Amino acid sequence: MLEHGGRLRAAAAHYGIPPAAWLDLSTGINPDPWPVPPLPASLWQRLPEDDDGLEAAAASLYGNPGLLPVAGSQAAIQLLPALLPRAAVACLSPLYAEHPHCWRKAGHRVRLLEGGLSRAITAATPYVLLCNPNNPTATAHTRAALLDAAGELNRRGGWLIVDEAFIDPTPDDSVTDLAGTPAAPRLVVLRSLGKFFGLAGARVGFVFAAADLLQRMRAELGPWTVSGPARSVARLALADLDWQQVARHRLLAAGQRLHGLLAAHGEVRGTALFATLCRADSAQIHDHLARRGILARLFAEHGLLRFGLPGSEDDWQRLHAALQSLPQQAAVTQPGAMHADA
C-alpha cells in the first residue's frame, strides 16, 4: 500500500511527540471546512437513495449531468483503469502516486513523463492522465490547452483523464462541464469534496464521463457506494454557493501567503490549498520541522516538500518560526523537479 499525507499517528510515534501537539500540514485539505450541520437520525437508519438530490446538486454546480457519485475520487482512480482496454498511459510526473499504481495494477503500461502537456500528447499513447492543478508540483494547465489535448486524443481514439481534486478555488480552469459530452466524448474528469470543502472523511467524489462508461462503473461498484449521511452532507455543501465564494477568496489569499512564506527558502510552486518547496535537502528540512512538531509531506525522490495551509494565526507564526530556525545555507533546488506548463 502506498504512503499518503495525513499519517500523523506514525509521525507522532517516530518523533515521540503526542498527536495533539502537532501542526499537521501534510494533506492539502482546507483547514476551515464547510460547517457540517446536525444530521437527522433517520439518515443513519435508512439505506441511501439515488433520488435524494445529490446528483442534481452536483450537476448544477459543475455544469454537467453526466456524473456518478463515488466514495471519494480514490474509488474511481482504482476502478477506471480496469474498465478500459489495456494499453500505454502517459502520466505527467511527478503526480499523485495512486494513479500510476492503479493503472499498473490493471495491466497497463505506464509512462511517467516529466515536462509539459505537449510532450504527453506527442507520446502517442492511447491514454494521457494528469492532475490539474498537479499534486505535488502545483503545475496548472489552462482550460484551452486541456480541451485542445482532449480533441487531439479523441481524433485518434484516445482518452484524456484529468484529476481536478484541487481545482475548486479556480473553477474557471475546470473542464468538468464538457467531460463525456459530444464536445469531448473521451474526456474523463474526477472531482472530490475532500480538499476545497474540507470533507475528506466523508469520502465523496464524482466521475464525469460518457454515459456508457458511467454505466459500467455503476455496475462494478454496486449499490450504496456513498453512505446516506455523506450524501446528505455533500448535497448541502454543493448547494451552499455563498460559503463557496467566501472560501475561494480566503483560500486564494492564504495560498499566496504560504507561497511568500516559503519563497525565502527556495523555489516554490503553489495552489490555493498547498505550496511545494523544491530543494535537494528536502528530507533534512522535513526532519527539522518534524522535530518541532510540524508535519509536511515529503516527496524525497523528487526533492519536494509540500505544505498545506495553517489553520490559525498561531499556526502561521509557528511555521514561520520553524522555517526561520533552518540552518543558514543557500537554498538548493533539485534540478528538473518542477516544470511549467508547456
pLDDT in tens, 101-115: 999 999 999 999 987
C-alpha grid cell for residue 251?
Answer: 483560500
Q: What count of residues does the chain have?
A: 342
Tell me the pLDDT band of 229, cut-offs 50, 70 and 90: very high
What residue ranges do the domains of the chain occupy? Answer: 8-33+243-324, 41-239
Torsion from C-alpha of 217, 220, 224, 226, nearest 10 degrees: -50
Query: Which numeric CATH code is attached to 8-33+243-324?
Result: 3.90.1150.10
| Mean local confidence (pLDDT), 306-324 | 97
3-state secondary structure 125-169: CCEEEEECCCCCCCCCCCHHHHHHHHHHHHHCCCEEEEECCCCCC
The pLDDT assigned to 340 comes to: 43
Contact 233, 93 (CB under 8 A): no
Res 341: pLDDT: 43
CATH number of 41-239: 3.40.640.10
Sheet (strand 109-113) strand order = 67-70, 205-208, 187-192, 159-163, 127-131, 88-92, 109-113
C-alpha cell read off for 316: 502561521
pLDDT of residue 123: 87
**pLDDT tier at 188 (50, 70, 90 boundaries)?**
very high
pLDDT tens sequence across 20-47: 999 999 999 999 999 999 999 999 999 9
